[in-house]
Amino acid sequence: MKGATLKAVWPPATVLVASAVAVEALVRVGGVPAWLLPTPWAVTQAVWTQWDQLGPALGRTVLATLMGFFASGLVGVAVAVALSSSRWVQRAFYPYAIFFQTVPIVAIAPLLVIWFGYGLRTVAVASFIVAVFPVVANTLNGLLSVDPALRDLFRLYQASRWDALWKLHLPAALPQVFTGLRIAGGLAVIGAIVAEFFVASGGLGVVMQAAMRQNRTEVVFAAIALASAVGLSLLWAVNAAAHLALRHWSASEQGG
């Protein structure tokens, strides 16, 4: 397990360090002005020196993202279960579920501000709206592709709808639920940051805008780095949960 983790961490870490060093050298040698492209070192320093500002902002963004993410997980799975309950329901409602994917969050953010005010609530709702569709689509796909022989088996043994849902359909759809959650994690961060631009009550999005106006490009980069760290951590957490939940499914996952 330890060896496997190291194997997974080393290659990207090497790429990160190597590219940081390369950019650092290019910027210094080429004399690129700091407001155009700060050196990676300057960005790293900004994370520390501006922590008074970045730390609380990070906290707010994380909170809104987690609220949006968990809501998208719960609501997404519940909606998928409802949609899978009958063909008619699916035909009637699925087009409206697609709405959540196609509507640009930038376009409806002002509406959300009107409805939910200038605060955390709006940011969390925007994060949820952006993240929920992949959970619905993937979970629905999983629920509909349950092995027909197993459906027959549950019918033959007179399983109730409730038992069929909890003991067959939901567990069978778990791999697809996790696929949806992986996508939702990244999107939830995007939704939160975009909403913060509009709400302007705090968070990494607000720091980015303020730093941009002050030409403090290294702070913009520092905020971007922290935002992607939030997305990556969420992805890592989903992967860890998937690994744990699906550990018995295939021989290759043994010993995890």
Partner 1 sequence: MTPTAQQAQPRAQGVALSLRGVQRVFAGGVEAVAPLDLAVDAGDFLALLGPSGCGKSTLLRLIAGLDRPDAGQVLIDGRSASGLIGDRGHRVAFVFQDAHLLPWRSVLRNVELPLELRGVGKSERRQRARAAIEQVGLGDAAGRYPAQLSGGMRMRASLARALVTDPLLLLLDEPFAALDEITRHALDQQLRQLWLDRRMTVLFVTHSISEAVFLAQRAVVLSRRPARIVEGRAIDLPMARDSATRTQEAFVREMRYLREALERGGGLA
Contacts to partner 1 by CB under 8 A: 147, 149-150, 152-160, 163, 167-168, 171-172, 174, 246, 248-251, 253-254
| Residue 1 structure tokens | 């397990």
Least Å distance, CB 147 to partner 1, is: 6
Indicate the residue among 125 and 146 with the shorter CB distance to partner 1: 146
Q: How far apart are CA 189 and CA 126, in angstroms?
A: 10
What residue type is 4 in one-letter code? A
- Number of H helices and E strands in the chain, helices first, is 11, 0
Q: How far is the CB of 92 from partner 1 (least distance, A)?
A: 24
Kindly state the smallest distance separating residue 1's Cβ from partner 1, in Å: 19
Residue in 203, 209, 194, 205 with CA at minimum distance from that of residue 58: 203
Torsions phi, psi of 181, nearest 5? Answer: -65, -35
CB of residue 245 to partner 1, shortest distance in Å? 8
Nearer to partner 1 by C-beta: 13 or 153? 153
* Minimum gap (Å) between residue 87 Cβ and partner 1: 16
Of 69, 71, 50, 49, the closest CA to residue 61 belongs to 69
Nearer to partner 1, 145 or 215 (CB): 145
Other CB atoms within 10 Å distance of the CB of residue 51: 13
Choice between 25 and 147, CB closer to partner 1: 147
Which residue, 163 or 228, is less far from partner 1 as judged by CB? 163
Minimum distance, C-beta of residue 27 to partner 1, in the bound complex (Å):
51
Structure tokens of 91?
Answer: 């035909």
Closer to partner 1 by Cβ: residue 154 or 197? 154
Spatial separation of the C-alpha atoms in residues 132 and 117, rounded to whole Å: 21
Q: Are 54 and 218 within 8 A, CB to CB?
A: no
